[in-house]
Structure 1
Amino acid sequence: MFVVLGYRDNHKVACLCSSAFAAAEKASHFSCKVPDRGLCILGYTNGTYPNGTLGRGNWRRYGVYMPSVAEKEACQAPNDPWVWTQYYGWWTTYFIMVGVVAVSLVNGIKRLHNLNRIMGLPSVIYHHPKVAALFRMGSYPQLKLFRVQLPPLGPSIFLFGFLTYSTLVCFLRRPYYRPPHYGGSPLGIRAEWVATAMTPWLYTTSTKRNFLVYFTGVSFKRIMDFHKWAPWICLYMSILHTWTMIIRIQRQQPWHYTITHNKLYWNGFIPLLALGWLCVMSLGPIRARFYESFFIFHMIAAFIFLVGMYIHLENVLESWQYMHAATVLWAAAILWRLLAYSLDHGWFSRVPRATIEALPSNAVRIRIPVPSSRRWSAGSYVYLRFPSIKPWQTHPFTISSLPVPSYNGEEGNEMVFVLRPREGLTARLKTLANIPSVPAIRSCLIDGPYGGFMDSLRACDTVLLIGGGTGMAALISIAQSLQRSGSAPGMSCCTALEVHWAVRDSVCLEWFREQLNEIGNVKVYVTNETQPEQVDQGKMEIKKQEIGQLEIQEEEKKNLSTPSLPSQTLYNRPNLADIIKEAAARYPGRIGVMGELTSFNLLFTMGKI
């Protein structure tokens, strides 16, 4: 095989021909046979003229040859043909679905094992404790890396695996580019299919009520880890697609000609810019800075991205099927949420009234009476909307109370929230609570509850709850629930409960005074009062009063088979490692640890053999 130069319509043409065929070519016009099709890629051309064609196409402006359809198909046939590229979208969908099914099976086995343990039944599936610990480790929160909050180990492994898959599926196969006018960049088309196939999953994980939460057993908080990080992979694929397509078109014709004659090269920037906005504005510091307006602009950008994808894809190779799936799943989740929202409020004829109270140490308590039919689990949270304060904004708050038994009727059933105000809505609530002689009562709408009490804690013999500041609001109801169900058969395995709470000053005990009295076994760490004698007389009186109220009576110990430590106040910071080590040495069996320290979350269980 060697290069033979010929002329067609006064243009030089390069072809790869066999020596025998080249010797036989004596005609006045130039032509040559189609060579090995495996060579019909950009790497074997000079980037301007075609390689190995019959020369039956037309010459276009800018001196670039336009092959016929047959020539284009012959060139693509052995080199990742465009008509079969939709397989990359299918493979991406299969990869994600396998991950979803695997997570569902693991969580289903874990839940079944915990329920069997609570009921005192043997587990139907035996697994070594170390294997169980390995799977539990996948849900543990991770620390920050270079000021970036990493998701738990399990989601991190899945995201990294998908990033590796998407990169390999794009770059492993050659060619990356074709000769001019012989088709789009295979590298860019692969990246496009991966990004397109990701779209339904991005929209599914964005909603509070979605089938993934119920199908996989993964909490909404963990689903949000995927929703926060997966769009960056989609953006990476989108940029790769855009960059390679620009390189490809530049080898055919100038950019000004492309942008005026090919709409795909300008309407594709609409979803790309919308996706870039969604990713950048969702970064932690930026989202926190513009939290009050984040949701509205986020929804607008998500809508623009979806519409832009419809326009750009043009249903080529039935690519709209991914957009249809994203639209249906997103719309269904929104309608589901609105329907539940309306039913919970009697089609907005029964709007709750919230009482806002000021608490010591710059805290605020919100009390909302609700009907007895409204139930929630320990550790649940809701989104509150105050129409008279900020009607277009919602804010998540953890419920620090438990619902009253249903036979008590509506009396006394209320949701209680304790928070420390910052900016925006919470700052406005603090201002209303501090108005003298005027009760701060406002109408509010409740969206939820979401989340809730975990079976993994009820399946533990000993539970340690470690909270800091208002982070205790997420743990206090869990402690109450464990305390009440400790002696009920088939309700909990917990026989010992310890609560550790770090606060700035002792007046913070007022926030959960009644609940702390019920729990009993509480250690309070006061961090801003190093020595008792340094506290002024007023605070000492409050502290003495609180300590007296927290003394454990004998009748309060009956629900625990293991003797509890007396409640006490310490004037130092808690050492988490020492607390856990002491508990492991003191208590037999399985130990569960859960922490909510506002900026640091901790949740894991330890099994002893």
Structure 2
Amino acid sequence: MASSSDSTIMTSKVVSSSEDKAIRIERANEYPQEVWFFLACLIALVAMFRLLSFVCSKMFTRNSLSSQDSEKGASQSKAVVNIRNLPLALINLYRVVAFRYTLDFGSYSLNLAEVVLTMMYMAALFTWTFINTTNVSGGKFDVSYWSNRAGVLIASQIPLITALGTKNNIISFITGVSYDNLNFLHRMAARVVFVLVWAHAGSKIAPGLKATDLEEAWLRCGILAAASSTSLCIISLRPIRARAYEFFFYTHLVLVLLVLVGAYRHTENFSPLAFSYQTYIWPSFIIWGIDRIIRVIRLVAFNHTYFGFNSGAGKALDATTELLTPKCVRLTLKRPPHFKWSPGQVAYLITPGVSSLPFESHPFTIASYDSQMSLKEITSSAASTDSDSNTTPTVSYWKELVFLINVQEGFTKRLADIAARKGSVKVYLDGPYGATHNLNTYDTHVFIAGGTGVSHTLPLLLDTIECVRNGKSICKRVTFIWCIRDPRNITWISSVLAQALSITPDSLKVAVRIFVTGSSISNSPDVPGLGYESPEATPSISSVEADSSHTPVFEKAQETLPIENQDNILVDNPMSLSAFVNLPSVTMRQGRPSLTNSLKEEAEETRGGSMCVAVCGSRSIASAVRKGLQFPVSGPLTVLRGGANVSLHVESFGYA
């Protein structure tokens, strides 16, 4: 009897084990597919929201403006709720809540849309990992159920992480979100998967590994992939990336390759007959390869003269360098054939003579504008405006590729050394990349920049002026705000700004406001003869930190400070600084701007119309702009009462 009972128990255990295995395999196959279905729906939802926001904004903005024109009277429009503005009110509510409220984590800052997407992604992966983990015997949270399932889910997310990290990817094409904005999701997904990696590895390590286990190739490859993934997450932290970008760049390439190869070999022996888990891995190689092929094609197409049979054919495309200030290099490159770009886009520069490795690339915003105007149109008005200085206007910002490069360490420091000698460098161009801004349907444009962030806003200003001249834009007002630490930085763009103002049509009102946030010009020995008459009540202002976590430093209104005794300034700019600062559209001030008050005033001036705000600068500047465009300035009730429909574009180099 005992023998029969033992046999029955043993048979029952074998059956249970067999059933458990069948269930585990079935769920390991189904759950990654369900996760991908969820992600596909999420991507479609993001695309739909962006499409609806775009369509509704274009459809209802003009109707709203016509309605307000017929009503007239600011006091009346503020009191009356117009139900026809409801679609715009809902759109502005969505924009404010999703993108203008942020959560700060030390030096990191995330808007609510990023937080929600991160939480949804984490919830999806962890739910499908740990759900239904009760075995057939009734044991709850059976490690054999969730451990290998976590491994399969990890493998299934590798193509997504790879795609989000490439410059040319289908997700960006579907959603309309540029690759640089998707890069946050790339890092977020990688870090969530990293947690699953150690959940999977820990479940195997906890019971203990035998010495003979290390002889198995699948285990060694798994350890390699896990160790490489861990190292990637460490070096991708922003403090490390910011201080040692070149180290991060090369190490990242090597570690990604090790993760892919290790994961591919690790899954080889654990795939069921019906489906190979390696199917989740090998598409990553294709995604990465397609991105590289596209980039190589662009590289050859835009730099083909460098590859010609004539050894001097590409010499004309060599870039010139100028050290404008100790912290800024201007790099100018003749426009390659067939190369077109839009304001706000970036290009990757490959400079073998400067970079540590031949094909090392660095992204920089294109500070010039791809103008359709003729050379005569650009120079005629500017020449008459600048006739007193007996100089020839420059057209490089309209007809050539110009980059304003902030000097740090490594690559930019070596480039600054070459610029100090006024040397030229061979540059291979890859791009353009990034989102494009169509601002033609907005009544008011507000451009805000800090330091070299003006590379983003300057082309937007030039584009606005040209589109208004050609009748393609309805814009009536432009406010251009630029915060700089050193008064000498004005010479970076003073000439091109003066030229732009000289060709501005009468129908467009342009105001240029420059704020010097460092010490006053009178205390700058490098700029002789230029000083401020500062009121006694104006306090001394310290320089702005590039990644300050305190927003209020941008909320102190300052008095306008007149400039005098400027005739002795020597600048390597076609237009004298004295002529620039005396232009009627230009205002210079000592201290930081009150961005909240400025944006509120601009929104009031645009009642019944639409306003676009573009900002590029430090985290503190971006935070101040977001704060200034929250409730009630862009609130739904304000829009219902005829307030401006406000759109915000943020390019911040201080975010995670």
Per the TM superposition, whether the score is higher than 0.5 is yes
1:357 pairs with 314, 319, 322, which one?
322
Conserved 8 A contact 2:332-2:400: yes
Is 1:584 the counterpart of 2:603 in the alignment?
yes
Report the counterpart of residue 350 of structure 2 in structure 1: 385
| Alpha-carbon offset, residue 321 of structure 1 | 1.4
**Residues 1:210 and 1:134: Cα distance change in structure 2 (over 3 Å):** same
**Residues 1:190 and 1:408: Cα distance change in structure 2 (over 3 Å):** same
Report the counterpart of residue 445 of structure 2 in structure 1: 463
Partner Cα distance (2:150, 2:495) in 1: 58
**Residues 1:406 and 1:515: Cα distance change in structure 2 (over 3 Å):** closer
**Residues 1:324 and 1:118: Cα distance change in structure 2 (over 3 Å):** farther
Conserved 8 A contact 2:453-2:616: yes
Kindly provide the CA deviation profile for residues 292-336 of structure 1, in whole angstroms up to 9, marking residues without a partner as x: 132222111111111111111114442111112222212111111
Amino acid at match of 2:132: R
Amino acid at match of 2:409: E
Report the counterpart of residue 189 of structure 2 in structure 1: 230
| Alpha-carbon offset, residue 94 of structure 1 | 1.0
Amino acid at match of 1:134: L
Kindly provide the CA deviation profile for residues 577-609 of structure 1, in whole angstroms up to 9, marking residues without a partner as x: 121122223332222222112444637774833
Report the counterpart of residue 336 of structure 1 in structure 2: 294
Stretch deviating more after TM superposition (303-312 or 538-547): 538-547
Q: How many residues align?
A: 526
Q: Which runs of 5+ in 1 are unaligned?
A: 1-25, 34-51, 56-66, 554-565
**Residues 1:176 and 1:584: Cα distance change in structure 2 (over 3 Å):** farther
Partner Cα distance (2:214, 2:482) in 1: 65
Report the counterpart of residue 557 of structure 1 in structure 2: none
Report the counterpart of residue 246 of structure 1 in structure 2: 205
Amino acid at match of 1:425: F
Conserved 8 A contact 2:155-2:280: yes
Report the counterpart of residue 547 of structure 2 in structure 1: none
Partner Cα distance (2:87, 2:58) in 1: 17
| Alpha-carbon offset, residue 199 of structure 1 | 0.7
**Residues 1:179 and 1:493: Cα distance change in structure 2 (over 3 Å):** same
Report the counterpart of residue 140 of structure 1 in structure 2: 99
Report the counterpart of residue 243 of structure 2 in structure 1: 289
Conserved 8 A contact 1:361-1:508: no
**Residues 1:118 and 1:501: Cα distance change in structure 2 (over 3 Å):** same
Question: What SS class does the counterpart of residue 99 from structure 2 fall into?
Answer: coil
Partner Cα distance (1:498, 1:85) in 2: 57
Conserved 8 A contact 1:354-1:442: yes
Is 1:82 the counterpart of 2:102 in the alignment?
no
**Residues 1:151 and 1:338: Cα distance change in structure 2 (over 3 Å):** farther
1:270-285 aligned at under 5 Å gives the runs 270-285=224-239
Is 1:395 the counterpart of 2:385 in the alignment?
no
Report the counterpart of residue 429 of structure 2 in structure 1: 446
Report the counterpart of residue 415 of structure 2 in structure 1: 429
1:40-59 aligned at under 5 Å gives the runs 52-54=9-11
Partner Cα distance (2:211, 2:423) in 1: 65
Partner Cα distance (2:253, 2:370) in 1: 33
Is 1:155 the counterpart of 2:114 in the alignment?
yes
Report the counterpart of residue 572 of structure 1 in structure 2: 591
Partner Cα distance (1:120, 1:213) in 2: 31
**Residues 1:235 and 1:449: Cα distance change in structure 2 (over 3 Å):** same
**Residues 1:257 and 1:453: Cα distance change in structure 2 (over 3 Å):** closer
| Alpha-carbon offset, residue 230 of structure 1 | 0.8
Conserved 8 A contact 2:443-2:475: yes
Conserved 8 A contact 2:302-2:337: no
Stretch deviating more after TM superposition (260-269 or 419-428): 260-269
Report the counterpart of residue 64 of structure 1 in structure 2: none
- Pick 1 or 2: higher relative contact order, CA cutoff 8 A, min separation 6: 2
**Residues 1:135 and 1:53: Cα distance change in structure 2 (over 3 Å):** farther
| Alpha-carbon offset, residue 219 of structure 1 | 1.1
**Residues 1:298 and 1:178: Cα distance change in structure 2 (over 3 Å):** farther
Kindly provide the CA deviation profile for residues 69-123 of structure 1, in whole angstroms up to 9, marking residues without a partner as x: x45223556xx4323421111011111111111111222223334555799899x
**Residues 1:260 and 1:382: Cα distance change in structure 2 (over 3 Å):** closer
Partner Cα distance (1:406, 1:334) in 2: 34
Stretch deviating more after TM superposition (112-121 or 398-407): 112-121
Is 1:538 the counterpart of 2:529 in the alignment?
yes
Report the counterpart of residue 72 of structure 1 in structure 2: 17
Amino acid at match of 1:106: F
Partner Cα distance (1:127, 1:299) in 2: 49
**Residues 1:137 and 1:319: Cα distance change in structure 2 (over 3 Å):** farther
Conserved 8 A contact 1:470-1:598: no
**Residues 1:207 and 1:89: Cα distance change in structure 2 (over 3 Å):** same
Report the counterpart of residue 327 of structure 1 in structure 2: 285
TM-score of the pair, normalised by structure 2? 0.73
Conserved 8 A contact 2:158-2:280: yes
| Alpha-carbon offset, residue 361 of structure 1 | 5.5
Partner Cα distance (2:602, 2:233) in 1: 42
Q: Which runs of 5+ in 2 are unaligned?
A: 66-83, 377-394, 502-509, 532-564, 570-575, 643-656
Is 1:302 the counterpart of 2:267 in the alignment?
no
**Residues 1:212 and 1:356: Cα distance change in structure 2 (over 3 Å):** same
1:474 pairs with 441, 445, 456, which one?
456
Partner Cα distance (1:307, 1:178) in 2: 38
Partner Cα distance (1:285, 1:396) in 2: 19
Kindly provide the CA deviation profile for residues 412-462 of structure 1, in whole angstroms up to 9, marking residues without a partner as x: 631111122111111111111212xxx41111111111124313x433221
| Alpha-carbon offset, residue 488 of structure 1 | 4.1
Partner Cα distance (2:106, 2:136) in 1: 39
Stretch deviating more after TM superposition (81-90 or 105-114): 105-114
Kindly provide the CA deviation profile for residues 347-368 of structure 1, in whole angstroms up to 9, marking residues without a partner as x: 7336421000111363211110
Partner Cα distance (2:228, 2:214) in 1: 22
Question: What SS class does the counterpart of residue 148 from structure 2 fall into?
Answer: helix
TM-score of the pair, normalised by structure 1? 0.78
Report the counterpart of residue 550 of structure 2 in structure 1: none
Question: What SS class does the counterpart of residue 521 from structure 1 fall into?
Answer: strand
Question: What SS class does the counterpart of residue 207 from structure 1 fall into?
Answer: coil
1:404-423 aligned at under 5 Å gives the runs 404-405=371-372, 413-423=399-409
Report the counterpart of residue 376 of structure 1 in structure 2: 341
Report the counterpart of residue 49 of structure 2 in structure 1: 106
Conserved 8 A contact 2:162-2:287: yes
Question: What SS class does the counterpart of residue 570 from structure 1 fall into?
Answer: strand
Partner Cα distance (1:461, 1:274) in 2: 51
**Residues 1:85 and 1:399: Cα distance change in structure 2 (over 3 Å):** same
